[in-house]
C-alpha cells in the first residue's frame, strides 16, 4: 500500500510538468506520422518491368496491334514510345533494355506468307537485355503462330472450293491471337505464407512499421522524467529521509518501479489506440497478444529507467543515458527500419536487442497476422531483460544507500 502511495506521488509529480506531455504523447505521435509517411514513400513500389522502345511503322496492321497488345500484357516488359535514333542511343546507354521496330507492311506481308523481319536491338551481354530479348521473342512467336494458324485454316477452307479474301484471313488471325489471351492450359505460382490465417493483414501500411517503432523508441525516451525523480531525490536528500521512515528499501524500489511502469504503460496505451484508430495499425486484431507485449515492454522500460536513475549523477546524465539508450536500442532493434532490409551482420547484432523482441511481438500481430503464441517468446525475453536491469538497479541502489 505504501509503495502504491509512493508511486502515485511520482506520477503526480511527473504530470505536473506540462513538458512531460510533449515527450510522452505529442512527440511520439508526430514522429509516428513523419516516419510513417517517410517509410511509405521509400517503399512505394516501382515498376519492375524492363523498359522497351516500341516503334511501329506498320500503322493499322492487324498483327502489329496484336503484337503490341501481347507485349503490354507482359509482366516483364514496359513499352515506351521513342524515335528510332533515340531508341538506339537509350539502349546503348542502358536506359532501355531493348528496342523493337515493326517494319511497314508487316501484317499484310506476313498474312500473305511472305518473310518479314522485325528489327530488335538489345545488348544480350547484360541480364536486362537478354531477358527483354527472350520476352519479346516469345511474344513475336505467339503473333506469328496466330498468323500461320489463320493462313493454314483459311487455306484448308479455300481448298474446299470456298473463296476466302484477305479480310477473312485477318479475322482468323485476330481470333487465333485472342486465343493466346486465355490458353487452355496454364499454371499459377503462389508464395508460401507460413501458418498465418487466411484473413491475415497485408503489409502495405507503413504505420505497421512506424507505429510500433515509435512506441518502442519513446518508451525509453519517455522515462527521462521518471529517472529524473530518483536523481533529484538523492540530490535533495529526500531519498535519505525516505529511508528513515517505515518504508523499507524494497518498498521504495517497488514504488518507483510501479510509477515508471504506469507512465510507460499509459504512454503505450495512448499510442496503440491512436495507431489503431488513426493510422490503421490493427493492434486490436489480437488484443490479448498486444496487451502482453505492452506489459513486457513497459516492464523492461521501467526497469531500464530505474537503472538509469541509479547510475546517473545529475540531470544532464539522465538525459545523456536516456538519449543514448533510445538511439542504440531504436536503431539496432529495428524501430526505425525493418532488420530484414539491412545487412546480415547488422541484423544479427540487432536481433539481440530487447527492442527487437518488442518489435517482433508487435509485428507478429500487425504484419504477419499471427496469434497469441507468437508473442510469448518475445515477451519472455523482454521480461528477462527487465529482470536483469532491475537487478542491476537494486544492486546499485543498495550500494549507494
95 contacts 121 by C-beta, under 8 angstroms: no
In angstroms, the CA 220 to CA 299 distance is 11
In angstroms, the CA 330 to CA 336 distance is 6
Whether residue 387 is predicted with pLDDT greater than 80 in this model: the reply is: yes
Output the DSSP codes for 125-179: TSHHHHHHHHHHHHHHHHHHHHHHHHHHHHHHHHHTT----HHHHHHHHHHHHHH
Confidence at residue 382, expressed as pLDDT on a 0 to 100 scale: 94
Backbone angles phi, psi at 221, to 5 degrees: -65, -30
In angstroms, the CA 306 to CA 393 distance is 6
Domain boundaries, the chain: 2-43+206-400, 50-179
Whether residue 159 is predicted with pLDDT greater than 60 in this model: the reply is: no
Between strands 98-102 and 119-122, the pairing is: antiparallel
Q: Quick one: pLDDT band at residue 191, thresholds 50, 70, 90?
A: very low
pTM tops 0.95:
no
Triad 33, 36, 38: Cα angle to 5°: 110
Confidence at residue 296, expressed as pLDDT on a 0 to 100 scale: 95
Counting other chains too, the contacts that 242-249 makes at CB distance below 8 Å and 24 or more residues apart are 242/6, 243/401, 246/2, 247/2, 247/3, 247/6, 249/397, 249/398, 249/401
In angstroms, the CA 144 to CA 109 distance is 12
126 contacts 82 by C-beta, under 8 angstroms: no
More confident residue, 106 or 375: 375
Q: What is the pLDDT of residues 54-102, one digit of tens each?
A: 898 888 788 788 888 888 888 888 888 888 788 888 888 888 888 999 8
Q: Quick one: pLDDT band at residue 293, thresholds 50, 70, 90?
A: very high
The CATH fold of domain 50-179: D-Maltodextrin-Binding Protein; domain 2 (3.40.190)
Range with lowest mean pLDDT among 251-255, 347-351, 378-382: 251-255
Confidence at residue 181, expressed as pLDDT on a 0 to 100 scale: 53
Whether residue 16 is predicted with pLDDT greater than 90 in this model: the reply is: no
In angstroms, the CA 189 to CA 297 distance is 40
Report H helices in 160-248: 166-179, 207-221, 224-236, 238-243
In angstroms, the CA 28 to CA 264 distance is 12
Whether residue 287 is predicted with pLDDT greater than 60 in this model: the reply is: yes
> In a 3-state reduction of DSSP, which class is residue 113?
coil
In angstroms, what is the C-alpha Rg of the chain?
Answer: 33
Q: What is the pLDDT of residues 128-139, one digit of tens each?
A: 888 888 888 888
* Most confident option among 54-68, 215-229, 339-353, 358-372: 358-372
C-alpha cell of 301? 522500460
Amino acid at each position: 500500500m505504501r509503495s502504491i502511495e509512493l508511486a502515485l506521488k511520482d506520477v503526480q509529480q511527473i504530470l505536473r510538468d506540462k513538458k512531460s506531455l510533449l515527450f510522452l504523447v505529442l512527440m511520439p505521435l508526430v514522429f509516428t506520422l513523419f516516419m510513417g509517411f517517410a517509410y511509405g514513400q521509400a517503399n512505394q513500389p516501382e515498376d519492375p518491368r524492363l523498359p522497351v522502345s516500341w516503334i511501329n511503322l506498320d500503322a493499322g496492321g492487324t498483327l502489329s496491334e496484336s503484337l503490341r497488345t501481347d507485349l503490354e500484357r507482359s509482366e516483364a516488359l514496359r513499352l515506351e514510345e521513342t524515335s528510332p535514333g533515340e531508341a538506339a542511343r537509350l539502349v546503348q546507354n542502358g536506359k532501355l533494355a531493348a528496342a523493337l521496330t515493326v517494319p511497314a507492311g508487316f501484317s499484310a506481308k506476313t498474312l500473305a506468307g511472305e518473310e518479314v523481319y522485325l528489327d530488335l536491338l538489345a545488348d544480350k551481354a547484360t541480364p536486362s537485355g537478354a531477358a527483354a530479348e527472350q520476352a519479346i521473342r516469345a511474344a513475336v512467336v505467339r503473333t506469328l503462330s496466330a498468323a500461320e494458324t489463320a493462313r493454314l485454316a483459311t487455306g484448308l477452307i479455300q481448298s474446299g472450293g470456298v473463296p476466302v479474301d484477305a479480310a477473312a484471313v485477318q479475322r482468323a488471325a485476330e481470333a487465333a491471337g485472342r486465343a493466346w489471351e486465355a490458353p487452355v492450359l496454364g499454371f499459377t505460382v503462389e508464395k508460401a505464407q507460413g501458418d498465418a490465417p487466411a484473413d491475415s493483414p497485408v503489409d502495405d501500411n507503413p504505420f505497421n512499421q512506424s507505429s510500433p517503432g515509435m512506441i518502442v523508441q519513446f518508451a525509453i525516451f519517455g522515462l527521462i522524467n521518471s529517472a529524473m525523480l530518483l536523481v533529484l531525490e538523492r540530490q535533495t536528500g529526500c531519498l535519505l529521509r525516505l529511508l528513515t521512515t517505515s518504508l523499507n528499501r524494497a518498498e521504495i524500489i517497488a514504488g518507483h518501479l510501479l510509477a515508471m511502469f504506469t507512465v510507460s504503460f499509459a504512454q503505450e496505451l495512448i499510442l496503440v489506440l491512436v495507431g489503431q484508430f488513426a493510422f490503421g495499425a490493427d493492434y486490436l486484431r489480437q488484443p490479448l497478444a498486444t496487451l502482453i507485449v505492452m506489459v513486457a515492454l513497459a516492464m523492461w522500460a521501467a526497469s531500464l529507467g530505474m537503472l538509469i536513475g541509479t547510475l546517473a549523477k545529475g540531470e544532464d546524465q539522465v538525459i545523456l543515458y536516456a538519449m543514448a539508450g533510445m538511439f542504440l536500442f531504436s536503431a539496432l532493434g529495428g524501430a526505425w527500419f525493418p532488420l530484414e532490409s539491412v545487412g546480415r551482420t547488422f541484423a544479427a547484432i540487432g536481433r539481440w536487442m530487447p527492442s527487437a523482441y518488442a518489435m517482433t511481438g508487435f509485428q507478429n500481430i500487425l504484419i504477419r497476422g499471427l496469434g497469441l503464441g507468437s508473442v510469448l517468446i518475445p515477451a519472455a525475453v523482454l521480461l528477462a531483460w527487465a529482470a536483469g536491469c532491475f537487478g542491476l538497479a537494486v544492486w546499485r541502489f543498495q550500494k549507494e544507500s
